[in-house]
Amino acid sequence: MQINNHKTRVAKPHLPFGEKREGRLYGKPIISVLQFSREDLEEIFTVAEEMRMMVERVGTFDLLKGKVLACVFYEPSTRTSSSFIAAIERLGGSAIPINEVRYSSVTKGESLPDTVRTLEAYADVIVLRHPETGAAALAAKYCRKPIINAGDGIGEHPTQALLDIFTIREELGRIDGLTVTMLGDLKYGRTVHSLARLLALYDVKLHYVSPDLLRMPPALIEELNQRGVPQTEHRTLDDVLSETDVLYVTRVQKERFENPDEYEQVKDAYVITPETMKRAKPNMVLMHPLPRVSEISIEVDDDPRAAYFRQMEYGLYVRMALLAMVLGKA
Ligand code: CP
């Protein structure tokens, strides 16, 4: 599992015969949420709404018939990998799933650039999850086909942030004017890094609640300060629960800790229970990128404000929209 520093090959845009070049995202890699404007988001969400309608009406349709998606995961995944595969198949295309790189030539020492160069020969778009921050950007340098970042270490998870904002929009009808509280592992949590940056496009207030060990990276707080986002940090949820419109809970990620003692210190720092929900706003939305371990008790699942399973489903529509747009068919 290595990223070799091969000499950079400048990727040339690839335009298959007969393909129409159109749309903001056509042929582009999706690496970081920083590449998106608010207008981009509106366009993605409009297409995602159409996808939702089509899935509800007909289930599967042939918008991407003949297109192939390679789905390469160097880290475990349930939702991101299966929703991208479901997305391409619902659009009439097909997938090359490499969900366990142990069984690929990565085990023989093949580098990331060579792996994506191989897959571009077979696929039209490549979804990549990798444990190293910057891996998706590096892969995109070597690949003529669009790379979609499905999580690069503790860096970003842009498609998750897009589906998170789509979820808030579906659940509350707006983003502007909301107070969003992020809770849990804010240091290593790539989903909150991407979500905070994407929310900065809107008029929102952000609260960060975490143990001291897992604070939001100061560089990211400074970046958002520069963009004029009001942000506060807290150790206890009670400081901000009553004014929170969206509570975004994250798992303390055991796999990111070098020191197991530190994980033991913070693993059960916060647990959302029915008691917590009693003190929350009646229309607060409770989100989680999943998987969850113990940070939201299962007794909360039946609360109508618990949106995390709906959030997962919204991910399918957003990923269908992204594939259609990147492949120039939306
Ligand atoms: N939210 C998320 O990325 O889930 P998976 O790790 O299951 O893909």
149: which strand partners? Answer: 128
The chain-wide mean pLDDT, for the chain, equals: 92
The yes-or-no answer on residue 108 being catalytic is yes
> Quick check: 326 pLDDT over 90?
yes
> Quick check: 184 pLDDT over 50?
yes
| Residue whose CA lies nearest to ligand 1 atom number 5 | 77
3-state SS class at 68:
strand
Query: Can you list the alpha helix ranges (DSSP code H) found in 200-246?
Result: 218-226
| Per-residue pLDDT tens over the stretch 120-134 | 999 999 999 999 999
Can you give the length of the chain in residues? Answer: 330
More confident residue, 116 or 254: 116
pLDDT above 90 as % of the chain? 83
3-state SS class at 156:
coil
Active site residue: 129, 130, 193, 205, which one? 129
| Per-residue pLDDT tens over the stretch 5-59 | 444 444 444 445 445 556 889 999 999 999 999 999 999 999 999 999 999 999 9
What is the Cα–Cα distance from 13 to 11, expressed in whole angstroms?
Answer: 7
* CA dihedral over 67, 72, 78, 79, signed as positive or negative: negative
- Classify 67 in phi/psi space as left (phi over 0), alpha (psi -120 to 50) or beta: beta
* Ligand 1 mean position, distance from CA 205 (Å): 26
The yes-or-no answer on residue 129 being catalytic is yes
| Residue whose CA lies nearest to ligand 1 atom number 1 | 289
| Per-residue pLDDT tens over the stretch 280-301 | 999 999 999 999 999 999 999 9
Specify the range with the lowest mean pLDDT, choosing from 108-122, 192-206, 226-240, 295-309.
Answer: 108-122
Task: Name the pTM for this structure.
Answer: 0.91
More confident residue, 10 or 272: 272
User: Residue 21 has what pLDDT?
Assistant: 53
Which ligand 1 atom is at minimum distance from the Cα of 289?
Answer: 1
More confident residue, 86 or 22: 86
**What own/partner pairs with CB < 8 Å and gap ≥ 24 does 130-134 have?**
130/3, 130/74, 130/75, 131/1, 131/74, 131/75, 132/3
What is the Cα–Cα distance from 212 to 266, expressed in whole angstroms?
Answer: 9
Instruction: Please choose from 100, 166, 290, 316 the residue to mutate so as to test ligand 1's pocket, defined by most ligand atoms within 8 A of CB.
Output: 290
Is 164 within 8 Å of 153 (Cβ atoms)? no
Mean pLDDT of 173-192: 96
* Residues in contact with 214: Cβ distance below 8 Å, sequence separation at least 6, in sequence order: 184, 185, 186, 187, 188, 252, 266, 269
The yes-or-no answer on residue 256 being catalytic is no
Active site residue: 12, 20, 57, 108, which one? 108
The yes-or-no answer on residue 7 being catalytic is no
* Ligand 1 mean position, distance from CA 21 (Å): 31
User: Residue 270 has what pLDDT?
Assistant: 93
User: Residue 180 has what pLDDT?
Assistant: 98
Strands (E), the chain: 68-73, 94-98, 125-130, 147-152, 179-183, 205-209, 231-234, 246-249, 285-287
The yes-or-no answer on residue 181 being catalytic is no
Q: Helix crossing, 190-199 with 158-172: angle to 10°?
A: 60
* Ligand 1 mean position, distance from CA 312 (Å): 9
User: Residue 258 has what pLDDT?
Assistant: 81
User: Residue 12 has what pLDDT?
Assistant: 46
> Quick check: 271 pLDDT over 90?
yes
